């Protein structure tokens, strides 16, 4: 049984008892009185019956009145309370009367109306809270998106700076071909643009296979070229060996590194990056900073790109130098060729004119070289020419220029040298060639090959007024040496062309005689 039913039943019982009990007492008193009177007076029986019926009907009417006017409104009110308790706040007591229960019902309806308003407001507030939460969530998402956009913007800005730096590096390096200019550009980029105060560049020495210190910054007590590192030795050597960047975040906890100052214990961090061309490590760049753990992942990536650019530029520079060397060097002997000789002679001639200094030229020609080749073959002949070129280079000054003029002819430019001293140099070379038979041997035995040279010399300002005359008079002096019997030095002495023709006929006769009898080759 529900609470409303219990209330309704209890209240109905109490009302019925409250009404019927007094009526019953009154009816009992009346009946007692009538019975007493009836015992004394006859004729009260009909009256008693009438009163009894009246009281009976009075009780029935009272009960019906209670049922209609009390219990029914109570039932309506109880039903409304039950439905309200179940959460239906829109329920109302229908048509309450203007009595006590009606007023209770009206107050109940008002309370329900207020509850309904409060529920509606609660629903509205909850909706507003949901909307607010969504708004807050949206705002938080917007803030997160804003932070992401800011972060991405910063990354893009850094990437743009890195790309701008790489473009600047590529633009600087691509315009540089000479090695010394490339090193200067690298120094400017590392110190000026990137702000590194200490760094060292090692390049591979192809002969020793060691990495030689070529350039350094902020390491005054290390002499460039005085430090060589083997592959696998120290941080630089390990970076070259493993072909990858290697970093030490705290150098105070590491053994001495080979590109820093002597035995002094360094502090800070360092990074070694290999310079790789194809699969070959051609060098290593070492960078140092005073702070610990100073190289981030982004720094390493940027520096890797920079070293890649420098490695390509260095490889291009080496290729250019090799091409340039091939363009000025004689392919067989390795000394300068005739074209380079003419360029150097032109510069030395201008210098001699400007400073009024002497300039001499000597020309050497191998005696009977055609017969030599016929007897020993061109392979031996080529080897002899290479040895002769090296011998000449070894026995002149660094300022002198040695070149192959053509065939078996060699020339030497002698700046600041008069004709007498030039003839002395020529005689020195002639005698060394004659005495160096042990340098000219056959490949399969110890047989010394006899070799002599004829030397001609001429000089400015003794006999000539221009470069062409210097070459022609030297050539004439050479032929004069051949005409006089070869294996001698002849300074130019003003001999004319007609005399050269007569001497040339004698030379041809001697060549034919030696070619026929082979008396030259002992």
Cα separation, 113 vs 91, in Å, equals: 9
Please indicate, yes or no, if residue 116 is contained in any of the structural domains: no
As a whole number, mean pLDDT of residues 329-342 equals 91
Q: Do the beta carbons of residue 429 and residue 455 sit within 8 Å?
A: yes
Domain boundary (26, 50, 85) is at 85
Per DSSP, 253 falls in state G
Residue 9, pLDDT above cutoff 80: no
Shared domain for 272 and 314, answered yes or no, is yes
Looking at the structure, do residues 273 and 343 belong to the same domain, yes or no?
no
pTM above 0.85, yes or no: no
pLDDT tens for 202-238 read 999 888 889 888 888 887 656 555 678 888 888 888 8
Instruction: Please indicate, yes or no, whether residues 447 and 411 belong to a single structural domain of this protein.
Output: yes
Please give the C-alpha separations between residue 432 and each of 108, 274, 371, 429, 435, in angstroms, as whole numbers: 139, 48, 22, 5, 5
C-alpha–C-alpha distance, residues 146 and 137, integer Å: 14
Domain contains 172? no
C-alpha to C-alpha distance for 460 and 348, rounded to whole angstroms: 11
* Claim to verify: residue 311 and residue 193 sit in the same structural domain: yes
Task: Judge if 355 and 383 occupy the same domain.
Answer: yes
224 and 314 in a single domain? The answer is yes
One domain for residues 13 and 42:
yes
Look up the domain containing 62 and give its range.
3-85
Q: What is the DSSP letter of 336?
A: B
Residue where one domain finishes, among candidates 327, 355, 375: 327
Q: Is 333 exposed, middle or buried (0-12, 13-18, 19+ CB in 10 A)?
A: buried
Do 279 and 352 sit in the same domain of this protein?
Answer: no
Instruction: Tell me which of 302, 327, 352 is where a domain ends.
Output: 327
In this structure, the answer to whether residues 298 and 343 fall within a common structural domain is: no
Asked if residue 136 is part of any domain, the answer here is no
Instruction: Indicate which CATH number applies to the domain containing 362.
Output: 3.30.70.270
Mean pLDDT of 370-383: 88
Query: 461: cis peptide before it, omega within 30°?
Result: yes
Give CA 416 to chain center in angstroms.
54
**Can you point out the beta strands (E) in 244-389?**
246-248, 269-277, 280-289, 359-366
Does the residue 368 lie in any domain?
yes
132: in domain? no
Domain count, the chain: 3
* Residues 190 and 244 grouped into a single domain: yes
| SS3 call for 29 | helix
Give dist(CA 135, CA 149) in Å, integer.
20
pLDDT(39) > 50: yes
Q: Is residue 131 part of a domain?
A: no
Mean pLDDT of the chain: 78
In a domain, 341, yes or no: yes
435 and 409, same structural domain?
yes
Comparing 415 with 512, which gets the higher pLDDT? 415
Share of the chain above pLDDT 70, in %: 68
Tokens encoding 420:
């007498």
365 is a domain residue: yes
- Closest-CA residue to 178 (of 316, 340, 339, 325): 316
Pairing of strands 246-248, 269-277: antiparallel
Question: Confidence band (pLDDT; 50, 70, 90) for 388?
Answer: very high
Contact 311/173 with Cβ under 8 angstroms? no
Residue 472: Cβ within 10 Å count: 15
Nearest to residue 345, comparing CAs of 251, 468, 260? 468
Q: Are residues 312 and 333 in the same domain?
A: no
pLDDT tens digit string along 249-266?
A: 887 776 555 454 444 556
């Amino acid at each position: 049984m529900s609470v409303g039913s219990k209330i309704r039943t209890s209240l109905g019982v109490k009302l019925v008892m409250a009404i019927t009990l007094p009526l019953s007492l009154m009816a009992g008193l009346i009946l007692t009185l009538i019975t007493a009177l009836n015992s004394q007076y006859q004729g009260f029986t009909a009256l008693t019956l009438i009163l009894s019926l009246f009281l009976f009907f009075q009780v029935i009417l009272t009960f019906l009145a209670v049922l209609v006017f009390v219990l029914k409104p109570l039932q309506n009110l109880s039903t409304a309370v039950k439905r309200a308790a179940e959460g239906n706040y829109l329920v109302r007591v229908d048509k309450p009367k203007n009595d006590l229960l009606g007023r209770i019902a009206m107050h109940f309806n008002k309370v329900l109306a207020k509850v309904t308003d409060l529920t509606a407001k609660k629903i509205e507030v909850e909706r507003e809270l949901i909307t607010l939460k969504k708004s807050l969530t949206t705002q938080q998402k917007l803030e997160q998106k804003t932070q992401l956009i800011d972060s991405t913007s910063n990354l893009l800005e850094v990437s743009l700076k890195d790309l701008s730096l790489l473009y600047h590096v590529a633009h600087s390096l691509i315009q540089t071909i000479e090695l010394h200019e490339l090193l200067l550009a690298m120094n400017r980029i590392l110190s000026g643009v990137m702000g590194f105060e200490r760094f060292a560049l090692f390049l591979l020495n192809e002969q020793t296979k060691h990495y030689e210190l070529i350039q350094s910054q902020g390491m005054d007590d290390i002499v460039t070229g005085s430090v060589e590192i083997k592959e696998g030795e120290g941080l630089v050597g390990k970076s070259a060996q493993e072909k990858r960047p290697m970093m030490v975040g705290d150098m105070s906890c590491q053994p001495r590194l080979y590109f820093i100052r002597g035995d002094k214990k360094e502090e800070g961090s360092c990074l070694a990056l290999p310079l790789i061309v194809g699969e070959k490590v051609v060098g290593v760049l070492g960078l140092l900073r005073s702070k610990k753990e100073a190289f981030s992942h982004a720094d390493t990536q940027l520096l890797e790109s920079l070293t890649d650019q420098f490695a390509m530029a260095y490889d291009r520079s080496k290729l250019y130098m090799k091409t340039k060397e091939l363009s000025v060097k004689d392919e067989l002997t390795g000394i300068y060729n005739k074209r380079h000789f003419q360029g150097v002679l032109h510069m030395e001639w201008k210098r001699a004119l400007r400073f009024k200094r002497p300039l001499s030229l000597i020309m050497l020609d191998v005696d009977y070289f055609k017969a030599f080749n016929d007897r020993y073959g061109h392979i031996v002949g080529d080897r002899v020419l290479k040895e002769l070129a090296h011998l000449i280079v070894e026995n002149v000054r660094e300022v002198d220029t040695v070149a192959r003029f053509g065939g078996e002819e060699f020339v030497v430019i002698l700046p600041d040298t008069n004709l007498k001293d030039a003839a002395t140099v020529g005689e020195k070379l002639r005698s060394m060639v004659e005495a160096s038979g042990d340098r000219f041997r056959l490949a399969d035995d110890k047989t010394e090959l006899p070799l002599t040279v004829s030397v001609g010399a001429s000089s400015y300002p003794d006999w000539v007024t221009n470069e062409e005359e210097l070459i022609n008079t030297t050539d004439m002096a050479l032929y004069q040496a051949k005409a006089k019997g070869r294996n001698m030095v002849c300074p130019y002495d003003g001999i004319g062309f007609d005399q050269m023709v007569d001497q040339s006929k004698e030379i041809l006769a001697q060549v034919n005689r030696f070619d026929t009898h082979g008396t030259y080759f002992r």
